[in-house]
Amino acid sequence: MSLSREPPLRMVSSFMESEPDSPSVAVRLSEPIWRYGAAAHVELLVRCVQLQQLLERETLCSSAVATLEEVCEQRPRARELVREVLSGVDALTQQPGTEPIGVLDQTGLSELCPLVGHFLGDPSRIYRSEGAPSINEYIDHVAAIQQLHSTALMIRADATAGRHKYVAHKLALLYHAVNASRVSREVLRRRIEERFEEAKELTEGSDAPVLPPDLVEWVVRLCDEVEAIVLATPPSMMHKLEPVARYLGIGDFG
């Protein structure tokens, strides 16, 4: 007799049963992050970023700069994205057949996505502005700041809940997150260094270490300080966000 065919000895939960009162979970894995149609300029931004990423991969892997048609022949997805960018330009301006590069220049998308500008505009023109962060810089910087913030929140929660065993290890992660984000780096590194060794000595060699109240208070204040700095939107983040923030505030065209 196969055990797999036998009913369970005890029903622990009815969660997986198809009963009227069972909870339901909406699966959204295939849904887009952005709700297209809510704002034409958001959809155009998404398509330009996708096309920029694809063009970067193709041009970096090629010894010679290919034409847009050659890229589209090798990557059918590029052709789809080009069509979607052109459709996005038409939707934004509400004027079918609008020359895309004029809109990309006006919105700043040609600087955010310079390869899109290059292939859809004048190949002899340099669209990359040294003063403007690339879209990759924007994404990397926001990810680093998010990592810094989430690490601080995790450490504070552990410290206040009495979960002290890995506090020193997580403080080291916070130190690395500070370095990666470059947010108030010198100030926050000095703050972590103040009592890191003390926290390390008290938590090593014990299965259930308990930090003294004054050290717990220090950890909480440190994490509060990190959160306050991040939520105040540091200048470095403002610089990285400015091109995208400016684009998302463009309003209507036409």
Q: Can you give the pLDDT at residue 84? A: 94
Q: Which fold has domain 135-239?
A: Four Helix Bundle (Hemerythrin (Met), subunit A) (1.20.120)
Is-contact 71 78, C-beta < 8 A?
A: yes
Band of the pLDDT at 173, cuts 50, 70, 90? very high
Is-contact 167 203, C-beta < 8 A?
A: yes
Residue spans per domain, the chain: 40-120, 135-239
Q: Which residue has the higher pLDDT, 134 or 25?
A: 134
What is the distance between the alpha carbons of residues 80 and 239, in angstroms, rounded to a whole number? 32
The arithmetic mean of pLDDT across residues 219-241, rounded, is: 82
The arithmetic mean of pLDDT across residues 205-214, rounded, is: 91
b/e burial code for range 125-154 (CB count within 10 A of at least 16 → b): eebeeeebbbbeebeebeebbebbbebbeb
What pLDDT, in 10s, does the model give residues 95-151?
Answer: 888 899 999 988 888 888 899 999 999 888 887 776 666 777 777 888 898 999 999
